[in-house]
Amino acid sequence: MSPAKPRRPTRTSDDRRGDIARAAVKILQTEGYAALTARKVAAEADISLGHISYHFRDMDEVLAEAYRMASGRLREATAEGLDLSAKTPMAQVKAFLWAGFSEDFLRPEHLRMRIDLWSAALAHSEIAEAERTLYQRYREDFERLLAAVAGDDPARRARIAQVSDTVMATLDGLWLDWMRRRDAKAVEHGLGTSLLIIEQLLA
């Protein structure tokens, strides 16, 4: 009697959703948004097409989940950077700013996916909603750190939104500039200037 074949571990619905989202992220990174199809996602995840329609309403929902997954990685990296940093408010702000510009997040495939998802958000409401929610969460995390720098001074606290607007726009611009020029010194300058703005207006 031949031995029984080992059974594969049972995959839960959340596992399957994660598999599908990871497959979508990989295709976005390697081939881009224009090449993304349900068939390619299914092949990458090694599942049938029926699994996608069972776990997701449509490809917009798949893309929104891929966006959440990619943004979640940035938030996790930021949290790790804060845990490793010194505990002064300015050191925490610096760790927050630098976390998004580690080697992993400056890889061309990651940036390509980021730009593709931003573009997809212009035409797809579900992706746009995911992007707004994740951006707002990231900004709220940042503004909590800025509030710690400003302390209890009312004039400084009144500048938090101004500083947040300026620095968040700078971060987006630095990612785009890196895609164009791959200039590490420019990234260093942009992050350093952002830190100076925070020190001058809030500290």
pLDDT in tens, 120-135: 889 888 889 988 988 9
pLDDT of residue 2: 53
Cα separation, 36 vs 156, in Å, equals 46
Residues 44-57 have pLDDT tens digits of 999 999 999 999 99
The backbone torsions φ and ψ at residue 159, rounded to the nearest 5 degrees and listed phi first, read -90, -5
In the predicted model, residues of the chain with pLDDT beneath 50 are 1, 5-7
The burial of 147, by beta-carbon neighbours within 10 Å (0-12 exposed, 13-18 middle, 19 or more buried), is given as: middle
Domains of the chain: total: 1
Place of tokens 């927050």: 96
Which amino acid, 131? E
The answer to whether position 21 is within a domain reads yes
pLDDT of residue 169: 96
Parent domain of 125: 13-202
CATH of the domain at 181: 1.10.357.10
- The closest of 174, 63, 52 to 122, measured between CA atoms, is 63
